[in-house]
Amino acid sequence: TQLLEQSPQFLSIQEGENLTVYCNSSSVFSSLQWYRQEPGEGPVLLVTVVTGGEVKKLKRLTFQFGDARKDSSLHITAAQPGDTGLYLCAGARSAGNQFYFGTGTSLTVIP
Amino acid sequence: DAGVIQSPRHEVTEMGQEVTLRCKPISGHDYLFWYRQTMMRGLELLIYFNNNVPIDDSGMPEDRFSAKMPNASFSTLKIQPSEPRDSAVYFCASSLGSYTEAFFGQGTRLTVV
């Protein structure tokens, strides 16, 4: 049983479109991270959110941590082919604990 | 720093053989993590170390798997004997703290035939 479920599992969109991917759990997390992984590489951290309701922006990417700290979303505006990759969320349940990774969303942006 | 370095990048071995994966973490990082990634199960934490000491190995699938960290700059993950279901990409990651950014290596793609 996965602690963190991500949806959709696969997403293919045209360049310029907007999209949102979700990370959901029944557990409360003290912090949550989003990573992007490109083929043949390891995941790379995009952002960390720690406060319920927190919103962080990274250029065209907007990350939100749910008020109850059980879920998170990643919104991409005007997607570009360079956004293609596997997006992973990872949550930590308590201080000093390791991060549990979600199931991942594989995004393909078609030029 | 060159980042987390893993070797080999690819490994093909026959069932029953011993496999050793190697990792050099980023200098100064206190935490080292070993992950396994498959299409079916995603990215799973196998074991992690803090200051060279194993803290949680509950993710290690079987006794066939073992990990060591003899010093702050080197860790190994060993599978003996290997089985086809062990085929996956194995990642090593290191971080300054358990709550901070994890830096991943490029992974070792293991194929057991």
What region does A53 belong to: left with phi over 0, alpha with psi -120 to 50, or beta? left
- pLDDT at position A96 is 56
- pLDDT at position B40 is 86
Q: Is the C-alpha dihedral spanning B24, B95, B45, A82 positive or negative? A: negative
- pLDDT at position A19 is 98
At CB < 8 Å, which residues of chain A contact B? 2, 31, 33, 40-45, 48, 88, 92, 95-104
Reduced 3-state DSSP string for B7-54? ECCEEEECCCCCEEEEEECCCCCCEEEEEEEECCCEEEEEEEEECCEE
Closest CA to B89 of B76, B105, B101: B105
pLDDT digits (tens, 9 = 90+) for B18-40: 999 999 999 999 999 999 999 88
DSSP H/E element including B70: strand B65-71
- pLDDT at position A100 is 86
- pLDDT at position A97 is 63
pLDDT digits (tens, 9 = 90+) for A21-52: 999 999 899 899 999 999 999 999 999 999 99
Distance CA B42, CA A101 (A): 8
Contact (CB<8Å) A33/B98? no
Contact (CB<8Å) B98/A43? no
Residue B41: closest C-alpha in chain A = A103
Mean of pLDDT over chain B: 94
Please provide the DSSP assignment of chain A as one string.
--SSEEE-SEEEEETT--EEEEEE-SS--SEEEEEEE-TTS--EEEEEE-STT-EEEETTEEEEE-TTSSEEEEEESS--GGG-EEEEEEEE-STTPPPEE---EEEEEE-
Contacts of A45 in chain B (CB under 8 A): 101-102
Q: Which of B45, B91, B106 sits opposite A98 (nearest CB)?
A: B45
Helix (H, G, I), strand (E, B) or coil at B86: helix
Residue A6: band (very low, low, confident or very high) from pLDDT cuts 50, 70, 90: very high
Contact (CB<8Å) B106/A41? yes
Pairing of strands A105-110, A10-14: parallel
Is residue A95 predicted with pLDDT exceeding 70? no
Is residue B1 predicted with pLDDT exceeding 80? no
Is residue B12 predicted with pLDDT exceeding 90? yes
Contact (CB<8Å) A88/B43? yes
Q: Is the C-alpha dihedral spanning B7, B42, B49, B81 positive or negative? A: negative
Residue B54: band (very low, low, confident or very high) from pLDDT cuts 50, 70, 90: very high
Contact (CB<8Å) A45/B101? yes
